[in-house]
Amino acid sequence: NAGVMQNPRHLVRRRGQEARLRCSPMKGHSHVYWYRQLPEEGLKFMVYLQKENIIDESGMPKERFSAEFPKEGPSILRIQQVVRGDSAAYFCASSQGVTDTQYFGPGTRLTVL
Amino acid sequence: EDQVTQSPEALRLQEGESSSLNCSYTVSGLRGLFWYRQDPGKGPEFLFTLYSAGEEKEKERLKATLTKKESFLHITAPKPEDSATYLCAVRGSGNTGKLIFGQGTTLQVKP
Protein backbone atom coordinates (compact mmCIF):
# COMPACT_ATOMS: atom_id res chain seq x y z
CA ASN A 1 0.00 0.00 0.00
CA ALA A 2 2.06 2.91 -1.28
CA GLY A 3 1.33 6.39 -0.10
CA VAL A 4 2.42 9.50 -1.94
CA MET A 5 5.93 8.99 -3.24
CA GLN A 6 8.46 11.69 -3.93
CA ASN A 7 11.93 11.51 -5.36
CA PRO A 8 14.61 12.35 -4.90
CA ARG A 9 14.39 12.80 -1.14
CA HIS A 10 17.42 15.08 -1.17
CA LEU A 11 18.70 17.13 -4.08
CA VAL A 12 21.76 19.36 -4.23
CA ARG A 13 22.17 21.82 -7.06
CA ARG A 14 24.56 24.66 -7.81
CA ARG A 15 23.23 28.09 -8.64
CA GLY A 16 22.02 28.25 -12.23
CA GLN A 17 21.29 24.53 -12.58
CA GLU A 18 17.88 22.95 -13.03
CA ALA A 19 16.01 20.96 -10.39
CA ARG A 20 13.36 18.35 -11.21
CA LEU A 21 11.19 17.03 -8.40
CA ARG A 22 8.89 14.07 -8.95
CA CYS A 23 5.68 13.06 -7.25
CA SER A 24 3.62 9.91 -7.67
CA PRO A 25 0.18 10.28 -6.07
CA MET A 26 -1.58 7.63 -4.04
CA LYS A 27 -3.33 4.95 -6.06
CA GLY A 28 -6.70 6.20 -7.23
CA HIS A 29 -5.86 9.87 -6.67
CA SER A 30 -5.99 12.20 -9.66
CA HIS A 31 -5.48 15.53 -7.87
CA VAL A 32 -1.96 16.69 -7.04
CA TYR A 33 -0.80 19.70 -5.04
CA TRP A 34 2.69 21.12 -4.50
CA TYR A 35 3.66 23.05 -1.36
CA ARG A 36 6.92 24.65 -0.30
CA GLN A 37 8.27 24.91 3.24
CA LEU A 38 11.04 27.46 3.61
CA PRO A 39 13.30 27.25 6.68
CA GLU A 40 11.45 28.52 9.75
CA GLU A 41 8.30 29.16 7.70
CA GLY A 42 5.00 27.39 7.24
CA LEU A 43 3.81 25.37 4.29
CA LYS A 44 2.85 27.53 1.32
CA PHE A 45 0.66 26.38 -1.56
CA MET A 46 2.27 26.52 -4.98
CA VAL A 47 0.15 24.73 -7.57
CA TYR A 48 -2.78 22.36 -8.03
CA LEU A 49 -2.97 19.98 -10.98
CA GLN A 50 -5.24 17.31 -12.34
CA LYS A 51 -4.18 14.95 -15.08
CA GLU A 52 -2.82 17.06 -17.96
CA ASN A 53 -4.26 20.28 -16.50
CA ILE A 54 -3.03 23.05 -14.24
CA ILE A 55 -6.03 24.17 -12.20
CA ASP A 56 -4.51 26.76 -9.86
CA GLU A 57 -0.95 28.07 -10.01
CA SER A 58 -1.58 31.18 -7.93
CA GLY A 59 1.18 30.31 -5.44
CA MET A 60 3.89 29.59 -7.96
CA PRO A 61 6.56 32.18 -8.75
CA LYS A 62 5.98 33.55 -12.25
CA GLU A 63 9.50 32.88 -13.44
CA ARG A 64 11.70 29.78 -13.41
CA PHE A 65 9.05 27.49 -11.89
CA SER A 66 6.77 25.15 -13.82
CA ALA A 67 4.70 22.07 -13.04
CA GLU A 68 3.08 19.31 -15.01
CA PHE A 69 1.05 16.18 -14.42
CA PRO A 70 1.05 14.16 -17.63
CA LYS A 71 -1.44 11.50 -18.60
CA GLU A 72 1.17 8.86 -17.82
CA GLY A 73 3.83 9.14 -15.15
CA PRO A 74 4.47 11.28 -12.12
CA SER A 75 3.84 14.96 -11.56
CA ILE A 76 6.98 17.06 -11.99
CA LEU A 77 7.91 20.37 -10.42
CA ARG A 78 10.68 21.98 -12.40
CA ILE A 79 12.85 24.85 -11.21
CA GLN A 80 15.14 26.41 -13.77
CA GLN A 81 18.28 28.40 -12.95
CA VAL A 82 18.02 27.74 -9.23
CA VAL A 83 19.07 30.40 -6.72
CA ARG A 84 19.97 30.04 -3.04
CA GLY A 85 16.51 31.28 -2.05
CA ASP A 86 14.98 28.18 -3.66
CA SER A 87 16.51 26.01 -0.92
CA ALA A 88 13.53 24.51 0.87
CA ALA A 89 11.52 21.37 1.43
CA TYR A 90 9.03 20.73 -1.38
CA PHE A 91 6.03 18.59 -0.53
CA CYS A 92 3.55 16.97 -2.83
CA ALA A 93 0.06 15.97 -1.71
CA SER A 94 -2.67 14.08 -3.48
CA SER A 95 -6.41 13.62 -3.05
CA GLN A 96 -9.15 11.57 -4.61
CA GLY A 97 -11.31 14.60 -5.30
CA VAL A 98 -10.83 18.34 -4.87
CA THR A 99 -12.89 18.37 -1.66
CA ASP A 100 -11.22 15.29 -0.18
CA THR A 101 -8.39 15.05 2.35
CA GLN A 102 -4.91 15.72 1.00
CA TYR A 103 -2.23 13.17 1.89
CA PHE A 104 1.35 14.30 1.83
CA GLY A 105 4.53 12.69 0.62
CA PRO A 106 7.84 12.69 2.53
CA GLY A 107 9.12 15.73 0.65
CA THR A 108 12.19 16.62 -1.39
CA ARG A 109 14.78 18.72 0.36
CA LEU A 110 16.48 20.99 -2.15
CA THR A 111 19.79 22.60 -1.28
CA VAL A 112 21.24 25.19 -3.63
CA LEU A 113 24.95 25.80 -3.23
CA GLU B 1 -7.54 37.27 2.67
CA ASP B 2 -7.66 33.78 4.15
CA GLN B 3 -5.43 33.48 7.20
CA VAL B 4 -4.53 30.94 9.87
CA THR B 5 -2.78 31.72 13.17
CA GLN B 6 -1.63 29.04 15.59
CA SER B 7 -0.69 29.47 19.22
CA PRO B 8 1.45 28.92 21.09
CA GLU B 9 4.44 28.59 18.77
CA ALA B 10 6.03 26.10 21.14
CA LEU B 11 4.74 24.12 24.07
CA ARG B 12 6.58 21.99 26.59
CA LEU B 13 4.63 19.53 28.68
CA GLN B 14 5.43 16.86 31.19
CA GLU B 15 4.20 13.41 30.35
CA GLY B 16 0.57 13.18 31.45
CA GLU B 17 0.04 16.96 31.54
CA SER B 18 -2.98 17.73 29.36
CA SER B 19 -3.20 20.92 27.28
CA SER B 20 -4.72 22.50 24.18
CA LEU B 21 -3.36 23.99 20.97
CA ASN B 22 -5.23 26.84 19.30
CA CYS B 23 -5.88 27.57 15.63
CA SER B 24 -7.62 30.85 14.77
CA TYR B 25 -8.75 31.33 11.21
CA THR B 26 -10.24 33.87 8.84
CA VAL B 27 -11.62 32.38 5.66
CA SER B 28 -14.36 33.14 3.21
CA GLY B 29 -16.61 30.12 3.11
CA LEU B 30 -14.88 27.43 5.18
CA ARG B 31 -14.80 24.15 3.31
CA GLY B 32 -12.80 22.22 5.83
CA LEU B 33 -10.32 22.70 8.66
CA PHE B 34 -7.50 20.17 8.81
CA TRP B 35 -5.05 19.08 11.50
CA TYR B 36 -1.77 17.44 10.55
CA ARG B 37 1.18 16.20 12.55
CA GLN B 38 4.71 16.70 11.21
CA ASP B 39 7.81 14.99 12.58
CA PRO B 40 11.25 16.44 11.80
CA GLY B 41 12.36 15.63 8.28
CA LYS B 42 9.03 14.09 7.29
CA GLY B 43 5.87 15.08 5.49
CA PRO B 44 2.68 16.14 7.28
CA GLU B 45 0.59 13.24 8.51
CA PHE B 46 -3.18 13.68 8.39
CA LEU B 47 -5.03 13.67 11.71
CA PHE B 48 -8.52 15.22 11.40
CA THR B 49 -10.92 17.11 9.16
CA LEU B 50 -13.68 19.31 10.62
CA TYR B 51 -16.34 20.96 8.50
CA SER B 52 -18.82 22.77 10.70
CA ALA B 53 -18.98 24.60 14.04
CA GLY B 54 -19.68 22.25 16.91
CA GLU B 55 -18.06 19.28 15.24
CA GLU B 56 -15.60 17.19 17.28
CA LYS B 57 -13.31 14.30 16.35
CA GLU B 58 -11.14 12.06 18.50
CA LYS B 59 -8.21 9.76 17.96
CA GLU B 60 -6.38 8.18 20.88
CA ARG B 61 -5.16 11.05 23.09
CA LEU B 62 -6.15 13.77 20.60
CA LYS B 63 -9.46 15.56 20.24
CA ALA B 64 -10.20 18.32 17.74
CA THR B 65 -13.03 20.81 18.08
CA LEU B 66 -14.30 23.61 15.84
CA THR B 67 -16.09 26.92 16.33
CA LYS B 68 -16.85 29.64 13.78
CA LYS B 69 -13.53 31.36 14.44
CA GLU B 70 -11.14 28.79 15.84
CA SER B 71 -10.25 25.18 16.38
CA PHE B 72 -8.63 23.48 19.34
CA LEU B 73 -6.52 20.36 19.45
CA HIS B 74 -6.80 18.93 22.93
CA ILE B 75 -4.09 16.53 24.06
CA THR B 76 -5.01 14.38 27.03
CA ALA B 77 -2.28 12.75 29.12
CA PRO B 78 0.37 13.15 26.41
CA LYS B 79 3.30 10.80 25.98
CA PRO B 80 6.80 11.57 24.68
CA GLU B 81 5.86 10.05 21.31
CA ASP B 82 3.29 12.83 20.88
CA SER B 83 6.19 15.26 20.48
CA ALA B 84 5.91 16.81 16.99
CA THR B 85 4.82 19.94 15.18
CA TYR B 86 1.06 20.19 14.81
CA LEU B 87 -0.20 22.04 11.75
CA CYS B 88 -3.62 23.54 11.18
CA ALA B 89 -4.90 24.35 7.68
CA VAL B 90 -8.11 25.65 6.14
CA ARG B 91 -9.67 25.30 2.73
CA GLY B 92 -11.84 28.19 1.63
CA SER B 93 -14.37 28.77 -1.10
CA GLY B 94 -13.34 28.26 -4.69
CA ASN B 95 -12.68 25.03 -6.44
CA THR B 96 -8.93 24.72 -6.13
CA GLY B 97 -8.46 22.58 -3.05
CA LYS B 98 -5.75 24.99 -1.92
CA LEU B 99 -4.90 24.70 1.79
CA ILE B 100 -3.79 27.69 3.86
CA PHE B 101 -1.49 26.57 6.69
CA GLY B 102 -0.64 28.13 10.01
CA GLN B 103 2.93 28.28 11.26
CA GLY B 104 2.43 25.28 13.51
CA THR B 105 2.83 24.53 17.20
CA THR B 106 5.90 22.53 18.20
CA LEU B 107 5.05 20.26 21.10
CA GLN B 108 7.67 18.65 23.30
CA VAL B 109 6.54 16.12 25.89
CA LYS B 110 9.12 15.22 28.50
CA PRO B 111 9.06 11.89 30.34
Taking the CB of residue A50, how many other CB atoms lie within 10 A of it?
13
- Residue of B49, B54, B52 lying closest to B35 (CA atoms): B49
Give A42's contacts in chain B (Cβ within 8 Å): 87, 101-104
Alpha helices, H only, chain A: none
Q: How much of chain A is in helix, strand and coil states, percent to nearest 5?
A: 5, 50, 50
Give CA separation, A101 vs A13, A15, B48, B99, in Å: 33, 36, 9, 10
Helices (H) and strands (E) in chain B, counts: 0, 11
For residues B28-39, give the mean pLDDT: 94
Nearest to B97 among A48, A59, A91 (CB): A48
User: Would you say residue B98 has pLDDT above 70?
Assistant: yes
Nearest CA to CA, how far is A83 from chain B (Å)? 22
pLDDT for the residue B93:
79
Residues 35-94, chain B, touching A (beta carbon < 8 A)? 36, 42-46, 49, 87, 89, 91
For residues B22-41, give the mean pLDDT: 94
pLDDT for the residue A54:
95
User: Is A96 part of the contact surface with chain B (CB cutoff 8 Å)?
Assistant: no
All residue ranges of chain A with pLDDT < 70 are 1
Q: What span, in angstroms and rounded, lies between the C-alpha atoms of A22 and A7?
A: 5
Taking the CB of residue A61, how many other CB atoms lie within 10 A of it?
13
More confident residue, A97 or B1: A97
Going by pLDDT thresholds of 50, 70 and 90, the confidence category of residue B28 is confident
Residues 13-72, chain A, touching B (beta carbon < 8 A)? 31, 33, 35, 41-45, 48, 55-56, 58-59
Give A59's contacts in chain B (Cβ within 8 Å): 98
pLDDT for the residue B95:
66
CA angle A26, A49, A10 (to 5 degrees): 60
Nearest to A45 among B95, B99, B103 (CB): B99
First vs last Cα of chain B: how many Å apart?
Answer: 41
pLDDT for the residue A5:
97
User: Would you say residue B69 has pLDDT above 80?
Assistant: yes
**Which residues are bridge partners to A66 per DSSP?**
A78
